[in-house]
Structure 1
Amino acid sequence: MNYFQLFSLPETFSVDKSVLANTYRELQKQYHPDKFVMLSDAERLTAMQKSTEINDAYETLKNSCLRAQYLLLLAGLDIALEQRTLQDTDFLMQQMMWREQIESFSEDDEDEIDAFSANIQQQVNDLESNIGQQLQEEALEATANSVRKLKFMLKLQTEIEQLEEKLFD
């Protein structure tokens, strides 16, 4: 089943997260395996599978990167498990600079880390905006490249969070 159809949402990159969350809760109430305890093994298995599908769909649709990958998949381009690397030399150079910057931060750099983190968040926002536009234009390869960049940026955000925990907790 198409995840967007399951949640009665249009197949677009932009998703109303409150509608998504409310629909998720309603679907979980309806299909939660605990409601099927007294039924046959086959019916319990079906309920478990439906509940799992609902959880997978929710996790995919609430995450911008996974949602973009899913939309690409629906359009016939599967990049989820690819090993292909990004060919954008400028972006690769920027990655190295960001990683060097992260490695250089110390406990004394809290303001600089906050500014760096805000810059990375802006980059993520810009990529998400680009992805939405590229999907509208059905520019699948461009979208795939933007998703590859977004994956890196989200990993970088995680690294920043880990650095902050290490330095300030």
Structure 2
Amino acid sequence: MARNSAALALRTPLRTSTPLSTCARTFTTTTTRTISTTTPRRHDEPKITSRETLLPQTHYDFFPSLGPDALPPKGPFTLDLSLLRREFLQLQAKAHPDLAPQEKKRQAEALSARINEAYKTLQNPLLRAQYILELRGIDVAGDETAKVEDPELLMEVLETREVIEEAASEEELQPLRELNERRIAGSVGVLEEAFKNDDMDAAKEEAVKLRYWINIRESVDAFEPGKPVVLIH
């Protein structure tokens, strides 16, 4: 039965999202001030030079390679993840607390933690969408009422849970995995257009849908035969 359900899921066409409306609101980003400091040292100590960012306004400010207008709607929602990771590793290498003098270790630890949080958020499309919406005063992550009311979608989610629960092996879930990755890609495309048009209502609605698809991906990744599936939304 699991094989039939998975195959049926693969044949299910993906629904297209409704046209996005364009809002005329403008969005102003703040600039980030930076300073360069050189820690005083004795002649027998290695030279430690760090470039510290003073209170970045957004997670995007930690990654200057993304450009000064990286934050949507000026910048694209989709990011170059390889470039983002490369700069993240460079930043962490410079900001590592072990490189800071004793009196600045706590400051370095706080900066390192913020860099980690910024990277974790921006490299994940769901967390990135929720973060951008949060900057606009829209709390999707913490809003328990932010759920999809589309009965077709809810039925699709319930059927997907049944397929995962009835599968006897990971191989049986491969068609479902591929279908769900297409769902995720589709949602990312809708979010790209919504943020480009500064349409926060459409972005919020699609972020809620994406939360379902990401949860299905996590459930498939954590698959164990006979294990109950809880699709949190």
Check whether TM > 0.5. Answer: yes
1:73-129 Cα distance to aligned partner (Å, 9 max, x none)? 22232222111122222211211121122222224x83x421111111111111111
How far apart in 2 are the matches of 1:100 and 1:19? 38
Distance (whole Å) between structure 2 residues aligned to residue 64 and residue 98 of structure 1: 21
Residue 31 of structure 1 corresponds to which residue in structure 2? 95
TM-score under structure 2 length normalisation? 0.64
- Asked whether the 8 Å contact 1:13–1:71 carries over to 2, the reply is no
**Which residue of structure 1 lines up, in the alignment, with residue 62 of structure 2?**
6
Identity %: 27
The answer to whether the Cα contact below 8 Å between 1:127 and 1:150 also exists between their aligned partners in 2 is yes
Moved over 4 A (4+): none
2:167 and 2:225 in contact (8 A); partners too: no
The answer to whether the 8 A contact 1:65-1:147 is kept is: yes
For the residue of structure 2 that corresponds to 1:77, the secondary structure is coil
RMSD: 1.7
Greater displacement, 57-66 / 129-138: 129-138
Give TM-score, length-normalised by structure 1. Answer: 0.87
Q: Name structure 2 gaps, 5 residues minimum.
A: 1-55, 227-233
Number of the residue aligned with 1:66 = 127
Aligned residues, how many? 161
The change in CA–CA distance for 1:103 and 1:39 in structure 2 (over 3 A counts) is closer
1:100-111 equivalent positions in 2, closer than 5 A: 100-107=162-169, 110=171
CA contact (8 A) 2:165 2:225 kept: no
The correspondence for 1:48, drawn from 109, 118, 126, is 109
AA at the equivalent of 1:73: E
* CA–CA separation in structure 1 for the residues paired with 2:118 and 2:222: 28
After TM superposition, the structure 1 stretch with the greater mean CA deviation from structure 2, 2-11 or 70-79, is: 70-79
Distance, in Å, in 1 between the alignment partners of 2:60 and 2:133 is: 13
More helix by share: 1
Q: Name 2:13's counterpart in structure 1.
A: none
Shift of 1:133: 1.0
